[in-house]
Structure 1
């Protein structure tokens, strides 16, 4: 039972990683801080991965589910 849940989670994560190859998040950094004057800058931080990682997770999830079915029999 636990193997099936792990397999399903791997499949879902694999599909999401194939559909979305990257995401961005923004952070603010102080550039100048002189008394009452503050200058900040927003910086984009991209996080990207290869879709191959999603395919590997998808195949791994399928293998885990198939192997758990064989061991249940």
Structure 2
């Protein structure tokens, strides 16, 4: 399996997951204050929304790459 097919499959899977879930979140730790040996940190949860057009575009581009790789071989 060549690299174009692998990239195409990854794009299709990422597009499907983007459409299925629509968002993902992660935790970001920030340092608020440091007073001598004491340190105050805050953990924020950030949420990123994945647009529908991005999921659809990833699926379409992945499909086109799969077709291109199939014709090239």
TM-score by length of 1: 0.71
Q: 1:58 to 1:36 in 2, by over 3 A?
A: same
Alignment-derived partner of residue 18 in structure 1: 19
Alpha-carbon distance between aligned partners in 2 of 1:40 and 1:64, rounded to the nearest angstrom = 45
- Alpha-carbon RMSD across the aligned residues, in angstroms, is 2.1
The more displaced of 2-11 and 53-62 is 2-11
Structure 1: give runs of 5+ residues left out of the alignment: none
The more displaced of 56-65 and 37-46 is 37-46
Which protein shows a greater Rg? 1
How far 1:44 sits from its partner (Å)? 2.5
Q: How many residue pairs align between the two structures? A: 72
TM-score by length of 2: 0.71
Alignment-derived partner of residue 66 in structure 1: 67
Q: Is 1:5 the equivalent of 2:6?
A: yes
Per-residue CA shift, 1:17-46, capped at 9, x if unaligned?
111111222345566666798766543311
Q: 1:20 to 1:32 in 2, by over 3 A?
A: same
Structure 2: give runs of 5+ residues left out of the alignment: none
